[in-house]
């Protein structure tokens, strides 16, 4: 199944094939299945007597990335993005791992119903990469068709050694804000720059100045990331364009830091436009935004203990806060429930530990969203299935104890 899903990735809100496979597998395992929630989302409910309500979640969408892993089952799917760019489609963030592991856990827990009592809810979510899929499912009535959980559990594959699990209480994944910025100049002939206001120079100055926010406006004990991920301007070498467009991504763990960084971005963008003599103020359009994922400290320690008891304490590490972002926390917040969300190691252990010893993990171990991101199926899947089962059974009641 993992190989099949990897070969057939689907972009956000287009996960129809994946959703169909999920729904069929859940139904065959005895779950009551609800489809089309928030677009392509799927939820399964397995009621097994009185007891706690536990929600396990996986995300399904892939990315517009052209795969370069060299795997025999590499994706060859192609797409044209909304802005007209030709691209491959790839599970470059490992959501195929997440779907496979949760389906495996759903099977195991269904087959072992004599071992637990309560209600199990499994959610397969669209559009995590847009940061909108969890909210779309909630707004489309997820908790009208499935019971509100007492706890939300889940995992995300990461470029660390397969077989390891990373559990961190408190702020665990950063919140994110996307900004679309348009710097407005005055175009003209490349031979007469004095008759223009060059938006490329304006944008270049803005990009460099934005890099000072974290280094000069965020305290050493705080954390933030400001990335200019896209910069687009012009059509020909001897034409000065009318405008330039920047795509900015901001990550933060604290609301006060987030507010300060967003204000600094706005201040800098307007100041650089003023300094360049721009004929019009710049345009700043907010895009996707979702809050930090905060693991409940008490519940996280309980889950850490259950995982350590099963796998051994040496295989359950604390990775600290992760600067990547996740919208799974929306499912917990909407239900008024705590969340515990951990990292699942997915990289070849020999390669990972060799790079770690050499101090070259940043260079030699591709990260999520890289075209070379290639989790090893084994023991990643076995660990992922087992971790979900162990964490769920730790919450579900033993028969006869309710």
**Which residues are known catalytic residues?**
61, 128
Structure tokens at 163: 């077989």
The residues, any chain, with a CB within 8 Å of residue 312's CB and separated by 6 or more, are none
DSSP conformation letters of 286-339 = EEEEEPPEEE-HHHHHHHHHHHHHHH-GGGEE----BSS--STHHHHHHHT--E
Burial of residue 288 (CB within 10 Å: 0-12, 13-18, 19+) is middle
Contact 123, 45 (CB under 8 A): no
Cα–Cα distance measured from residue 66 to residue 69, given in angstroms and rounded to the nearest whole number: 10
Cα–Cα distance measured from residue 360 to residue 348, given in angstroms and rounded to the nearest whole number: 15
DSSP lists the bridge partners of residue 58 as: 124
Cα–Cα distance measured from residue 134 to residue 328, given in angstroms and rounded to the nearest whole number: 6
Q: Token pair 């069929």 is at which residue? A: 24
CA distances from 144 to 189, 327, 335 (A): 60, 20, 11
Contact 233, 246 (CB under 8 A): no
Q: Computed over its alpha carbons, how large is the radius of gyration of the chain? A: 23
């Amino acid at each position: 199944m993992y190989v099949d899903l990897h070969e057939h990735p689907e972009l956000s809100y287009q996960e129809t094939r994946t959703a169909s496979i999920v729904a069929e597998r859940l139904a065959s395992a005895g779950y009551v299945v609800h489809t089309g929630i928030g677009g392509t989302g799927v939820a399964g409910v397995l009621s097994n007597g009185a007891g706690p309500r536990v929600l396990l979640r996986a995300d399904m969408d892939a990315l517009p990335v052209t795969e370069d892993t060299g795997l025999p089952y590499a994706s060859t799917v192609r797409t044209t993005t909304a802005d007209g760019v030709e691209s491959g489609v790839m599970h470059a963030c490992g959501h195929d791992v997440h779907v496979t592991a949760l389906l495996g856990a759903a099977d195991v827990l269904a087959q072992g119903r004599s071992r637990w009592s309560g209600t199990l809810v499994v959610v397969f979510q669209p559009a995590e990469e847009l940061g909108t899929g969890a909210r779309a499912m909630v707004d489309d009535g997820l908790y009208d068709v499935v019971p509100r959980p007492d706890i939300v559990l889940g995992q995300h594959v990461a470029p660390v050694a397969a077989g390891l699990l990373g559990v961190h209480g408190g702020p665990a994944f950063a919140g994110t804000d996307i900004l679309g910025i348009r710097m407005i100049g005055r175009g003209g002939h490349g031979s007469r720059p004095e008759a223009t206001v060059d938006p490329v120079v304006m944008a270049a100055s803005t990009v460099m100045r934005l890099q000072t926010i974290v280094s000069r406006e965020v305290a050493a004990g705080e954390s933030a990331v400001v990335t200019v991920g896209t910069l687009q301007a012009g059509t020909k070498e001897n034409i000065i364009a009318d405008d330039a467009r920047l795509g900015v991504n901001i990550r933060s763990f604290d609301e006060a830091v987030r507010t300060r960084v967003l204000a600094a971005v706005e201040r800098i963008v307007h100041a650089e436009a003023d300094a360049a003599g721009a004929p019009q103020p710049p345009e700043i359009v907010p895009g996707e935004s979702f809050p930090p994922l905060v693991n409940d400290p008490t519940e996280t320690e309980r889950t850490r203990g259950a995982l350590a008891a099963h796998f051994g304490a040496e295989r359950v590490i604390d990775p600290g806060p992760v600067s990547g972002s996740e919208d799974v926390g929306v499912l917990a917040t909407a239900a008024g429930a705590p969340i515990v969300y951990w990292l699942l190691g997915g990289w070849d252990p020999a390669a990972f530990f060799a790079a770690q010893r050499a101090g070259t993990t940043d260079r030699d171990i591709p990260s999520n969203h890289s075209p070379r991101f290639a989790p090893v199926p084994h023991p990643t899947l076995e660990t992922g299935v087992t971790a979900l089962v162990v964490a769920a059974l730790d919450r579900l009641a033993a028969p006869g104890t309710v």
